Structure 1
Amino acid sequence: MAGISVSLSPLNLDIRYFSCSSSSSFSSSPLPLSLHLPKRSSSSSSSSSIVRCQAVEGDKRGAKRNVFDNASNLLTNFLSGGNLGSMPIAEGAVSDLVGKPLFFSLYNWFLQHGSVYKLAFGPKAFVVVSDPMVVRHILRENAFSYDKGVLADILEPIMGKGLIPADLDTWKQRRRVIAPGFHNSYLEAMVKTFTTCSERTISKFDKLLEAKGYGGQNSIELDLEAEFSSLALDVIGLSVFNYDFGSVTKESPVIKAVYGTLFEAEHRSTFYIPYWKLPFASCIVPRQRKFQRDLKIINDCLDELIRNAKESRQETDVEKLQQRDYLNLKDASLLRFLVDMRGVDVDDRQLRDDLMTMLIAGHETTAAVLTWAVFLLAQNPDKMKKAQAEVDSVLGSDRPTYESLKKLQYIRLIVVESLRLYPQPPLLIRRSLKPDVLPGGYKGDKDGYPIPAGTDVFLSVYNLHRSPYFWDNPHDFEPERFLVERKNEEIEGWAGFDPSRSPGALYPNEIISDFALLPFGGGPRKCVGDQFALMESTVALAMLLQKFDVGLRGTPESVELVTGATIHTKNGLWCNLRTRSDLQ
């Protein structure tokens, strides 16, 4: 459920339309690239060269700018240049970033221009924020002075008034209804669902290995990103709708429609011109006709599930709903909770929007987290062995339970470290509803930066998570980093990293890190399903490592990044799986 507050990073003009700043550009080598950054320490993990992006020499940048680039930036400065005062400016050039993710360039500009800067592009200017103190100001201290802006425009045809694109009034109403559904008894019962769905995936791998074994082979090649995607879809179906997609082992029109809708959501989040809003586009454009068919299949399925749930409605108070015996309840889904809640007579359309939002957002993020966790572990066999040793000690041959999950500390830290290095999504989008003054942030203007109403702001989670000012060895895969308190004596206004600030928390969060770590947003509009997603990822990863050793089929450099709703691979994460007993 990780994506309920997760913006699908629209205006990832990255893929086609942005480029580097006036002093640097990116090479054309395959992603992931490596990045040259100021280092706080000389130590480095074996994955450090893989999880960095590399900038080339800046003096080549000016020669590359063409007439169109210059016209684009001139237009920006003419139309919006004076609105943001003395804020540092990073000028975008259209010609340099074809096919490269925006967040790489935003990072490069962050190192050059600081924590808050204006990105000038064509007729529009955006404010890019890469500082925890400024993010805290926007997400928590002034949360209701900002809305989702362009994000809502892009996602409304897909998610309606679900939590992500909802206007402020609708969001407040639905948040009060949905948030109680993720109570402890529900999460405890969902661990059983996570385990059941993960067992399907493990069983599938076992059967493939068994078939290979007849030919004398004891390993198989699989696209684990695709397998994790199927696993996450099954989990969402059972836990949210009480519907078994069974996508690990079969295909159906509904499953195909779900993936078609996911692809369209990603397409819209990365395409600059919203051509789908043109009159008759849904009838004329083949892609949009298919999208409408897919949407109808899913909506018909959700409508039937909602109708069935309402026919067996057992209305009661929230407190009694939370006290149900969810471990033995036949239908423990979130839909059942929402339908049975007394005093909430929501129409079917709003329920469907809620469910669609959870389906798309919750599925995408969990699959991505597991993909990058395996990618990182495969490059760090010592950390994989350490994780497996913890799984052996805590679980043995048993399956995870709610209580044993609490003891899988290192697995949990791996999940969060994967989210730090590959945040899902790498950007959050906000728009100011009224004039505001943003804090200057670290090394910024002490008087801050005034912004007018209507300013579009990119909160770069990627920059936050890899900031050399707030993290030691920011590009290295070090799950152990979260075990160490970091007292801050250098940066005014930042409280440092202190686990004691969030007692009882199973996973590091924005409170512990004072907004330097933002895996699920922060403030009032933080993801309501963060614990659900983290537990789901922990169970799935533990069960995979319990049974298998995993290695990349090719080199890490061959795993190319693309972005849309999440950071994912271009051609899948192809891995070699071997049962651990074969190597012992």
Structure 2
Amino acid sequence: MTRITAIDGSRISNFLWFQRDPLSFLLHASKLGDMVSIEASKKYPTYVVSAPDLIKEILVTKDKYFEKGRAASILSRTVGNGLLTSEGETHRRQQKMIRPAFYKEHLLHYANKIVQKANATDFQVEKEFNMSQRMMELTLEIITVTMFGKEVGEKKAEIAESVDTIIYQAAKTLFSPLPIPFKFPTPGNRKHHQSNEKINEFIYQLISDQKKTGATKDTLLHMLLATTYENGESLPEEEIRDQLVTMLLAGHETTATALTWAWYLLAKHPEIEEKFHEELTNKLGGRQPTFEDVRDLPYTETIFQETIRLYPPAWIILRESLSEVEVGGDTYPRKTTFMISPFAIHRKPPYFDEAEKFLPERFMDHPSPPTFSYFPFSGGPRACIGSNFAMMEAILILATIGQKYRFRLVEPQDIELVPLVSLRVKGGLNMVANSR
């Protein structure tokens, strides 16, 4: 029996709905069935996939039948052929090359840097500030000093603005029905090119400095420069550049956005915030956290787990079939697009009780949710390679800053979701800090 359900409404009305509000569209589609046809194109059909077993087929069991397709093509305008966009054997080779940067011995080194940067992040008491911006700046500093062995320094504002422009333009292009070729000199494309140039200048300078001095060890940059092909040749600078830019974009924006939502949710739930502060007091007693403390802060961990359930870093995952493929007993032609939304699936009542509520306790002493009903870092061979780093970074930042401050929301304030690469707060989140 087929598991395909057709969505209600015309092709045009559904397209306009998705363009206007993709999150509500995906929530609606996820409630209609396991595999929902949205008739985006008769030639290249599109489906919203909402059943964990079907998602596992696409992302794991039959992943070789799929590629990222258009999403990778658009992202490659900035990151080139890095880990985020490469396919097939190239992707497998790159994974093998980069994975050691996230081994435990390196995480131990990164943890100290994370705490140092978080501890240096000061908030003026009783003065309004933009939490989104502060978390972006903090995670940018962390990714550059841990992965590249370099302080971003005076270029922080410039690089942050360039990353912001690239993410906005990429999201705008990805969900456009008729994406304008990158070479056309539209205002958006010009901004994108200018931002690429600024990031390239920063990255190539890092590579040059490291080659000259060899000063930094235990970093991704150092590892890439030491890597050779089977024939003994070093990696070309362009490939190193692609991996570093990939890490720059993917390694700080998503974590910063998730942390922003965590502070928002804590401010909205004072009883949970109180338990959070109790754990920090009991386990740390005012001292700075270390790598060893990450496992000893279970409630802090569940706060972040629950945050990325409600606001997952990857709110949508796109896959395109390379050939005819069978999924869930139904056969789909080549060039079929499958849309998988962790945002929608994480909010489905069959998998989570009171799914719309912020309940960190659901991750403590409860049965684990079914595989692929909770997958904030995607899954399968293309799952986020830095997920352990991101979890450690988030817990250490929450613990370090949470020991010194509690935050309250500026009211009134409209909180609106903006689905770009990650789920941002429109205009940023305005808060006020109080000393603990």
- Could you state the TM-score of these two structures normalised by the residue count of structure 1? 0.70
Establish whether residue 308 from structure 1 lines up as the match of residue 240 from structure 2.
no
CA displacement at 1:548 relative to structure 2 = 1.2
C-alpha contact (below 8 Å) 1:110/1:463 kept by paired residues: yes
Moved more, 255-264 or 393-402: 255-264
Task: Give the Cα separation in 2 of the matches to 1:221 and 1:481.
Answer: 33
Shift in alpha-carbon separation, 1:246–1:262, aligned structure 2, 3 A:
farther
Amino acid in the other structure paired with 1:275: I
Task: Give the Cα separation in 2 of the matches to 1:255 and 1:460.
Answer: 27
Task: Give the Cα separation in 1 of the matches to 2:112 and 2:189.
Answer: 38
CA deviations on 1:536-568 (whole Å, 9 max, x unpaired) are 111111122211121111257x11111111111
Q: Determine which of 208, 212, 224 is the counterpart of 1:338.
A: 224
C-alpha contact (below 8 Å) 1:270/1:564 kept by paired residues: no
Task: Give the Cα separation in 1 of the matches to 2:18 and 2:102.
Answer: 41
CA displacement at 1:253 relative to structure 2 = 4.0
Shift in alpha-carbon separation, 1:199–1:266, aligned structure 2, 3 A:
farther
CA displacement at 1:159 relative to structure 2 = 1.0
- Which residue of 1 is the match for residue 46 of structure 2? 126
What is the correspondence of 1:530-545 to structure 2 with a 5 Å cutoff? 530-545=387-402
Amino acid in the other structure paired with 2:24: F
- Which residue of 1 is the match for residue 5 of structure 2? 88
Establish whether residue 195 from structure 1 lines up as the match of residue 195 from structure 2.
no
SS of equivalent residue, structure 1 residue 393 = helix
Establish whether residue 514 from structure 1 lines up as the match of residue 371 from structure 2.
yes
C-alpha contact (below 8 Å) 1:237/1:245 kept by paired residues: yes
Task: Give the Cα separation in 1 of the matches to 2:3 and 2:401.
Answer: 52
Percent identity for Structure 1 against Structure 2 = 28
Aligned CA-pair RMSD: 2.2
Task: Give the Cα separation in 2 of the matches to 1:460 and 1:297.
Answer: 32
Shift in alpha-carbon separation, 1:521–1:357, aligned structure 2, 3 A:
same
CA deviations on 1:269-288 (whole Å, 9 max, x unpaired) are 343321133xx51xx32332
CA displacement at 1:194 relative to structure 2 = 0.8
CA displacement at 1:98 relative to structure 2 = 7.7
Task: Give the Cα separation in 2 of the matches to 1:109 and 1:287.
Answer: 31
SS of equivalent residue, structure 1 residue 268 = helix
C-alpha contact (below 8 Å) 1:465/1:516 kept by paired residues: yes
Establish whether residue 160 from structure 1 lines up as the match of residue 64 from structure 2.
no
SS of equivalent residue, structure 2 residue 296 = coil
Q: Determine which of 281, 289, 296 is the counterpart of 1:392.
A: 281
SS of equivalent residue, structure 1 residue 520 = coil
Task: Give the Cα separation in 1 of the matches to 2:315 and 2:157.
Answer: 32
Task: Give the Cα separation in 2 of the matches to 1:534 and 1:312.
Answer: 32
Establish whether residue 105 from structure 1 lines up as the match of residue 25 from structure 2.
yes
- Which residue of 1 is the match for residue 67 of structure 2? 147
Establish whether residue 401 from structure 1 lines up as the match of residue 290 from structure 2.
yes
Establish whether residue 568 from structure 1 lines up as the match of residue 391 from structure 2.
no
CA displacement at 1:479 relative to structure 2 = 0.8
Amino acid in the other structure paired with 1:299: N
CA deviations on 1:50-86 (whole Å, 9 max, x unpaired) are xxxxxxxxxxxxxxxxxxxxxxxxxxxxxxxxxxx87
Task: Give the Cα separation in 1 of the matches to 2:381 and 2:411.
Answer: 43
CA displacement at 1:105 relative to structure 2 = 1.2
Task: Give the Cα separation in 2 of the matches to 1:244 and 1:261.
Answer: 21
- Which residue of 2 is the match for residue 293 of structure 1? 194
CA deviations on 1:171-218 (whole Å, 9 max, x unpaired) are 1111110012211011111111111111221x3x1xx33xxxxxxxxx
- Which residue of 1 is the match for residue 166 of structure 2? 261
Establish whether residue 232 from structure 1 lines up as the match of residue 139 from structure 2.
yes
Task: Give the Cα separation in 1 of the matches to 2:348 and 2:321.
Answer: 25
Shift in alpha-carbon separation, 1:342–1:160, aligned structure 2, 3 A:
closer
C-alpha contact (below 8 Å) 1:220/1:578 kept by paired residues: no
CA displacement at 1:388 relative to structure 2 = 0.5
C-alpha contact (below 8 Å) 1:433/1:453 kept by paired residues: yes
Which structure 1 segments of 5+ residues have no match? 1-84, 210-218, 314-328, 440-447, 487-496, 498-511
- Could you state the TM-score of these two structures normalised by the residue count of structure 2? 0.92
- Which residue of 2 is the match for residue 456 of structure 1? 337
Amino acid in the other structure paired with 1:333: T
C-alpha contact (below 8 Å) 2:159/2:198 kept by paired residues: yes
- Which residue of 1 is the match for residue 179 of structure 2? 274
Larger Rg: 1
CA displacement at 1:122 relative to structure 2 = 5.3
Task: Give the Cα separation in 1 of the matches to 2:402 and 2:377.
Answer: 25
SS of equivalent residue, structure 2 residue 95 = helix
Amino acid in the other structure paired with 1:522: G
